[in-house]
Protein backbone atom coordinates (compact mmCIF):
# COMPACT_ATOMS: atom_id res chain seq x y z
CA UNK A 1 0.00 0.00 0.00
CA UNK A 2 1.27 3.44 -0.96
CA UNK A 3 2.51 5.54 1.96
CA UNK A 4 2.84 9.34 2.06
CA UNK A 5 6.64 9.02 1.70
CA UNK A 6 6.12 6.89 -1.44
CA UNK A 7 3.73 9.49 -2.84
CA UNK A 8 6.32 12.21 -2.12
CA UNK A 9 8.98 10.20 -3.93
CA UNK A 10 6.67 9.71 -6.94
CA UNK A 11 5.85 13.41 -7.01
CA UNK A 12 9.47 14.64 -6.90
CA UNK A 13 10.66 11.97 -9.35
CA UNK A 14 7.88 12.84 -11.81
CA UNK A 15 8.80 16.53 -11.65
CA UNK A 16 12.43 15.75 -12.41
CA UNK A 17 11.48 13.41 -15.27
CA UNK A 18 9.38 16.21 -16.76
CA UNK A 19 12.41 18.51 -16.53
CA UNK A 20 14.48 15.96 -18.51
CA UNK A 21 11.77 15.73 -21.18
CA UNK A 22 11.64 19.50 -21.65
CA UNK A 23 15.44 19.71 -21.83
CA UNK A 24 15.49 16.96 -24.50
CA UNK A 25 13.09 18.93 -26.66
CA UNK A 26 15.70 21.15 -28.25
CA UNK A 27 18.48 20.70 -30.83
CA UNK A 28 16.28 18.42 -32.94
CA UNK A 29 13.43 18.01 -30.51
CA UNK A 30 11.39 15.06 -29.26
CA UNK A 31 7.83 13.93 -28.65
CA UNK A 32 7.15 16.18 -25.67
CA UNK A 33 3.35 16.17 -25.41
CA UNK A 34 3.10 12.38 -25.56
CA UNK A 35 6.00 11.82 -23.16
CA UNK A 36 4.57 14.15 -20.53
CA UNK A 37 1.29 12.24 -20.50
CA UNK A 38 2.78 8.91 -19.34
CA UNK A 39 5.33 10.18 -16.80
CA UNK A 40 3.21 9.53 -13.71
CA UNK A 41 2.33 6.02 -14.86
CA UNK A 42 5.96 5.10 -15.50
CA UNK A 43 7.17 6.68 -12.26
CA UNK A 44 4.56 4.84 -10.20
CA UNK A 45 5.24 1.51 -11.91
CA UNK A 46 9.05 1.59 -11.71
CA UNK A 47 9.33 3.05 -8.20
CA UNK A 48 6.39 1.32 -6.48
CA UNK A 49 5.06 -1.66 -8.36
CA UNK A 50 7.40 -3.53 -10.66
CA UNK A 51 10.08 -5.93 -9.56
CA UNK A 52 12.61 -4.44 -11.97
CA UNK A 53 15.92 -3.18 -10.64
CA UNK A 54 19.32 -2.56 -12.13
CA UNK A 55 20.58 -5.65 -10.27
CA UNK A 56 17.95 -8.09 -11.61
CA UNK A 57 17.75 -6.99 -15.27
CA UNK A 58 19.30 -10.30 -16.39
CA UNK A 59 16.91 -12.39 -14.26
CA UNK A 60 14.13 -13.87 -16.47
CA UNK A 61 11.88 -14.14 -13.41
CA UNK A 62 11.72 -10.38 -12.85
CA UNK A 63 8.75 -8.32 -14.08
CA UNK A 64 8.71 -6.76 -17.56
CA UNK A 65 7.41 -3.48 -18.92
CA UNK A 66 7.30 -3.05 -22.68
CA UNK A 67 6.97 0.55 -23.89
CA UNK A 68 5.09 0.06 -27.14
CA UNK A 69 4.53 3.79 -27.70
CA UNK A 70 8.24 4.12 -28.25
CA UNK A 71 8.14 7.82 -29.07
CA UNK A 72 7.65 8.39 -25.31
CA UNK A 73 11.22 7.32 -24.66
CA UNK A 74 12.22 10.73 -23.21
CA UNK A 75 9.99 9.82 -20.24
CA UNK A 76 11.64 6.40 -19.92
CA UNK A 77 15.22 7.68 -20.21
CA UNK A 78 14.47 10.59 -17.86
CA UNK A 79 13.20 8.06 -15.35
CA UNK A 80 16.23 5.79 -15.87
CA UNK A 81 18.42 8.77 -14.97
CA UNK A 82 16.41 9.32 -11.78
CA UNK A 83 16.65 5.61 -10.93
CA UNK A 84 20.43 5.81 -11.37
CA UNK A 85 20.39 3.39 -14.33
CA UNK A 86 21.58 5.92 -16.90
CA UNK A 87 24.29 8.57 -16.45
CA UNK A 88 22.63 12.02 -16.69
CA UNK A 89 25.25 13.33 -19.12
CA UNK A 90 24.16 10.71 -21.65
CA UNK A 91 20.92 12.62 -22.20
CA UNK A 92 23.09 15.31 -23.77
CA UNK A 93 23.93 12.76 -26.48
CA UNK A 94 20.31 12.75 -27.65
CA UNK A 95 20.29 12.50 -31.47
CA UNK A 96 24.11 12.50 -31.62
CA UNK A 97 25.88 9.74 -33.52
CA UNK A 98 28.09 8.81 -30.55
CA UNK A 99 25.32 7.17 -28.48
CA UNK A 100 22.12 5.15 -28.73
CA UNK A 101 19.97 7.86 -27.11
CA UNK A 102 17.52 8.56 -29.86
CA UNK A 103 13.84 9.28 -30.57
CA UNK A 104 12.88 5.66 -29.92
CA UNK A 105 13.92 2.99 -27.38
CA UNK A 106 17.03 0.99 -28.07
CA UNK A 107 17.84 -2.25 -26.28
CA UNK A 108 21.45 -1.13 -26.03
CA UNK A 109 20.26 0.99 -23.08
CA UNK A 110 19.96 -1.29 -19.99
CA UNK A 111 16.34 -1.41 -18.87
CA UNK A 112 14.83 -1.10 -22.35
CA UNK A 113 12.96 -4.37 -22.89
CA UNK A 114 12.67 -4.22 -26.66
CA UNK A 115 13.15 -1.82 -29.56
CA UNK A 116 9.96 0.08 -30.39
CA UNK A 117 8.80 3.02 -32.46
CA UNK A 118 6.88 1.20 -35.12
CA UNK A 119 3.52 1.09 -33.34
CA UNK A 120 1.53 -2.05 -32.64
CA UNK A 121 4.43 -4.41 -32.07
CA UNK A 122 5.09 -4.74 -28.36
CA UNK A 123 1.73 -6.12 -27.25
CA UNK A 124 2.36 -9.12 -29.51
CA UNK A 125 5.88 -9.40 -28.04
CA UNK A 126 4.52 -9.09 -24.49
CA UNK A 127 1.96 -11.82 -25.18
CA UNK A 128 4.80 -14.13 -26.20
CA UNK A 129 6.80 -13.28 -23.07
CA UNK A 130 3.75 -13.69 -20.81
CA UNK A 131 3.00 -17.09 -22.37
CA UNK A 132 6.60 -18.17 -21.90
CA UNK A 133 6.53 -17.09 -18.22
CA UNK A 134 3.29 -18.98 -17.69
CA UNK A 135 4.56 -22.16 -19.35
CA UNK A 136 7.60 -22.04 -17.07
CA UNK A 137 5.35 -21.71 -14.03
CA UNK A 138 6.76 -18.29 -13.13
CA UNK A 139 4.81 -15.70 -11.14
CA UNK A 140 6.26 -12.55 -12.66
CA UNK A 141 4.15 -9.85 -14.29
CA UNK A 142 4.29 -8.67 -17.88
CA UNK A 143 3.08 -5.14 -18.61
CA UNK A 144 2.89 -3.27 -21.89
CA UNK A 145 2.06 0.39 -22.43
CA UNK A 146 0.35 1.45 -25.64
CA UNK A 147 -1.02 4.74 -26.87
CA UNK A 148 -4.72 5.13 -27.58
CA UNK A 149 -4.13 5.98 -31.24
CA UNK A 150 -1.81 2.99 -31.37
CA UNK A 151 -4.85 0.77 -30.88
CA UNK A 152 -5.68 1.45 -34.53
CA UNK A 153 -3.03 -1.17 -35.29
CA UNK A 154 -4.79 -4.50 -35.85
CA UNK A 155 -1.85 -6.42 -34.41
CA UNK A 156 -2.96 -5.36 -30.91
CA UNK A 157 -6.34 -7.00 -31.33
CA UNK A 158 -4.86 -10.18 -32.76
CA UNK A 159 -2.52 -10.36 -29.79
CA UNK A 160 -5.46 -9.95 -27.39
CA UNK A 161 -7.22 -12.92 -28.97
CA UNK A 162 -4.13 -15.01 -28.25
CA UNK A 163 -3.83 -13.62 -24.71
CA UNK A 164 -7.39 -14.64 -23.92
CA UNK A 165 -7.01 -18.06 -25.59
CA UNK A 166 -3.97 -18.81 -23.41
CA UNK A 167 -5.58 -17.32 -20.28
CA UNK A 168 -2.75 -14.86 -19.75
CA UNK A 169 -3.75 -13.30 -16.44
CA UNK A 170 -0.08 -12.35 -15.96
CA UNK A 171 -0.44 -9.83 -18.79
CA UNK A 172 -1.58 -6.23 -18.26
CA UNK A 173 -2.02 -3.69 -21.01
CA UNK A 174 -1.87 -0.04 -19.97
CA UNK A 175 -3.46 2.34 -22.45
CA UNK A 176 -2.21 5.93 -22.21
CA UNK A 177 -5.64 7.36 -23.04
CA UNK A 178 -4.63 10.97 -23.61
CA UNK A 179 -7.21 11.34 -26.40
CA UNK A 180 -4.71 12.58 -28.96
CA UNK A 181 -2.72 10.80 -31.61
CA UNK A 182 0.03 12.70 -33.32
CA UNK A 183 -1.48 16.10 -34.21
CA UNK A 184 -5.13 15.06 -34.05
CA UNK A 185 -7.78 14.21 -31.47
CA UNK A 186 -8.03 10.41 -31.40
CA UNK A 187 -11.81 10.31 -31.60
CA UNK A 188 -11.80 12.63 -34.62
CA UNK A 189 -9.78 10.21 -36.73
CA UNK A 190 -10.88 6.64 -35.98
CA UNK A 191 -13.16 6.66 -32.91
CA UNK A 192 -12.24 4.10 -30.25
CA UNK A 193 -15.20 4.42 -27.91
CA UNK A 194 -16.75 2.44 -26.39
CA UNK A 195 -13.21 1.28 -25.67
CA UNK A 196 -13.86 -0.72 -22.50
CA UNK A 197 -16.61 -2.68 -24.27
CA UNK A 198 -14.24 -3.47 -27.14
CA UNK A 199 -11.66 -4.89 -24.75
CA UNK A 200 -14.37 -6.90 -22.99
CA UNK A 201 -15.50 -8.32 -26.31
CA UNK A 202 -11.95 -9.56 -26.84
CA UNK A 203 -12.03 -11.42 -23.51
CA UNK A 204 -9.96 -8.94 -21.50
CA UNK A 205 -10.96 -7.12 -18.29
CA UNK A 206 -10.77 -3.32 -18.53
CA UNK A 207 -10.68 -0.77 -15.71
CA UNK A 208 -10.47 3.03 -15.94
CA UNK A 209 -8.08 4.97 -13.67
CA UNK A 210 -6.80 8.53 -13.36
CA UNK A 211 -3.31 8.11 -14.83
CA UNK A 212 -1.92 11.07 -12.85
CA UNK A 213 -3.14 10.11 -9.37
CA UNK A 214 -0.59 7.94 -7.57
CA UNK A 215 -3.10 6.89 -4.89
CA UNK A 216 -5.59 5.72 -7.50
CA UNK A 217 -2.85 3.99 -9.51
CA UNK A 218 -1.72 2.11 -6.43
CA UNK A 219 -5.23 0.96 -5.58
CA UNK A 220 -5.76 -0.20 -9.16
CA UNK A 221 -2.47 -2.01 -9.72
CA UNK A 222 -2.73 -3.74 -6.36
CA UNK A 223 -5.96 -5.33 -7.67
CA UNK A 224 -4.21 -7.12 -10.55
CA UNK A 225 -5.02 -9.51 -12.08
CA UNK A 226 -8.53 -8.13 -12.41
CA UNK A 227 -9.89 -11.57 -13.15
CA UNK A 228 -8.64 -15.16 -13.12
CA UNK A 229 -7.60 -16.46 -16.56
CA UNK A 230 -7.97 -13.15 -18.42
CA UNK A 231 -5.59 -10.33 -19.36
CA UNK A 232 -6.17 -7.02 -17.55
CA UNK A 233 -6.47 -3.66 -19.29
CA UNK A 234 -5.76 -0.45 -17.41
CA UNK A 235 -7.35 2.43 -19.26
CA UNK A 236 -5.38 5.36 -17.90
CA UNK A 237 -7.09 8.72 -18.34
CA UNK A 238 -4.19 11.07 -18.99
CA UNK A 239 -3.55 14.57 -20.27
CA UNK A 240 -1.34 15.25 -23.27
CA UNK A 241 1.42 17.64 -22.09
CA UNK A 242 0.59 17.07 -18.40
CA UNK A 243 2.40 19.35 -15.98
CA UNK A 244 3.03 22.29 -18.31
CA UNK A 245 -0.27 24.15 -18.83
CA UNK A 246 0.79 25.86 -22.06
CA UNK A 247 1.45 22.40 -23.58
CA UNK A 248 -1.58 20.61 -22.14
CA UNK A 249 -4.20 19.21 -24.55
CA UNK A 250 -2.48 20.83 -27.50
CA UNK A 251 -2.64 18.76 -30.69
CA UNK A 252 0.12 20.91 -32.19
CA UNK A 253 2.60 20.45 -29.31
CA UNK A 254 3.15 16.72 -29.71
CA UNK A 255 6.58 16.82 -31.31
CA UNK A 256 8.41 19.96 -30.23
CA UNK A 257 11.77 21.51 -30.98
CA UNK A 258 12.12 24.45 -28.60
CA UNK A 259 14.65 27.24 -28.55
CA UNK A 260 16.99 27.34 -25.54
CA UNK A 261 15.07 30.35 -24.18
CA UNK A 262 11.76 28.49 -24.49
CA UNK A 263 13.19 25.54 -22.59
CA UNK A 264 14.06 27.82 -19.67
CA UNK A 265 10.62 29.43 -19.85
CA UNK A 266 8.88 26.03 -19.86
CA UNK A 267 10.96 24.79 -16.92
CA UNK A 268 9.84 27.88 -14.99
CA UNK A 269 6.24 27.11 -15.96
CA UNK A 270 6.66 23.50 -14.83
CA UNK A 271 7.66 24.85 -11.44
CA UNK A 272 4.57 27.06 -11.35
CA UNK A 273 6.39 30.34 -11.79
CA UNK A 274 4.66 31.76 -14.86
CA UNK A 275 3.18 30.83 -18.22
CA UNK A 276 5.75 30.25 -20.92
CA UNK A 277 5.65 32.29 -24.10
CA UNK A 278 6.30 30.00 -27.03
CA UNK A 279 7.57 31.65 -30.19
CA UNK A 280 8.76 28.57 -32.10
CA UNK A 281 6.30 27.37 -34.72
CA UNK A 282 4.20 24.36 -33.68
CA UNK A 283 5.41 21.23 -35.45
CA UNK A 284 2.82 19.31 -37.38
CA UNK A 285 3.83 15.71 -37.99
CA UNK A 286 1.67 13.04 -39.56
C1 LIG B 1 3.23 1.47 -37.56
C2 LIG B 1 3.34 2.96 -37.35
N3 LIG B 1 2.52 3.80 -38.02
C4 LIG B 1 2.63 5.14 -37.84
C5 LIG B 1 3.57 5.65 -37.01
C6 LIG B 1 3.70 7.16 -36.85
N7 LIG B 1 3.26 7.57 -35.53
C8 LIG B 1 4.10 7.74 -34.50
S9 LIG B 1 3.32 8.14 -33.10
C10 LIG B 1 1.81 8.16 -33.87
C11 LIG B 1 0.58 8.51 -33.13
C12 LIG B 1 0.40 7.65 -31.95
O13 LIG B 1 -0.70 8.08 -31.23
P14 LIG B 1 -0.95 7.54 -29.78
O15 LIG B 1 -0.73 6.08 -29.76
O16 LIG B 1 -2.28 8.03 -29.34
O17 LIG B 1 0.22 8.18 -28.94
P18 LIG B 1 0.36 9.70 -28.38
O19 LIG B 1 -0.80 10.50 -28.84
O20 LIG B 1 0.41 9.59 -26.92
O21 LIG B 1 1.64 10.18 -28.95
C22 LIG B 1 1.94 7.83 -35.20
C23 LIG B 1 0.81 7.71 -36.13
C24 LIG B 1 4.43 4.75 -36.33
N25 LIG B 1 5.36 5.16 -35.47
N26 LIG B 1 4.29 3.41 -36.51
Mean pLDDT for the chain overall = 96
Distance CA 143, CA 134 (A): 14
The number of the ligand 1 atom at minimal distance from the alpha carbon of 254 is 21
102 C-alpha to ligand 1 centroid (Å): 16
Q: pLDDT digits over 196-210, tens only?
A: 999 999 999 999 999
183 C-alpha to ligand 1 centroid (Å): 10
Neighbours of 35 (CB within 10 A): 31
Q: pLDDT exceeding 90 applies to what percent of the chain?
A: 94
Region 149-161 average pLDDT: 98
Q: pLDDT digits over 97-151, tens only?
A: 899 999 999 999 999 999 999 999 999 999 999 999 999 999 999 999 999 999 9
Q: Report which protein residue has its CA nearest ligand 1's atom 25.
A: 118
Q: What is the pTM of this model?
A: 0.97
Does residue 286 carry a pLDDT above 70?
A: no
pLDDT for 44: 98
Angle between helices 4-24 and 260-270 (to 10 degrees): 160
Distance CA 15, CA 11 (A): 6
Q: Report which protein residue has its CA nearest ligand 1's atom 10.
A: 182
**Ligand 1: residues within 6 Å at CB?**
34, 37, 69, 71, 117-120, 147-150, 176, 178, 180-182, 186, 254
Q: pLDDT digits over 211-221, tens only?
A: 999 999 999 99
Look up the CATH superfamily of 4-242.
Thiamin diphosphate (ThDP)-binding fold, Pyr/PP domains (3.40.50.970)
The number of the ligand 1 atom at minimal distance from the alpha carbon of 120 is 1
pLDDT for 285: 73
Q: Report which protein residue has its CA nearest ligand 1's atom 9.
A: 182
Does residue 283 carry a pLDDT above 80?
A: no
Q: pLDDT digits over 55-114, tens only?
A: 999 999 999 999 999 999 999 999 999 999 999 999 999 999 899 999 999 999 999 999
Region 236-252 average pLDDT: 96
Higher pLDDT residue, 282 or 27?
27
Q: Report which protein residue has its CA nearest ligand 1's atom 19.
A: 181
Q: pLDDT exceeding 70 applies to what percent of the chain?
A: 100
Amino acid sequence: MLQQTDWDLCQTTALRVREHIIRLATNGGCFVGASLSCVDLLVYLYTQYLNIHQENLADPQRDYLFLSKGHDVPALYGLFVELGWLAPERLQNHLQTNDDIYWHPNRAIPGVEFHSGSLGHLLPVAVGVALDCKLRGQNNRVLVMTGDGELNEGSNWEALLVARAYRLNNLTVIVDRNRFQANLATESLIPLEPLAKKFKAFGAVPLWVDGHNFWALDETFEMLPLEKDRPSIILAQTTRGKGVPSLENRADRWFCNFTAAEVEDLLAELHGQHTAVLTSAPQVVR
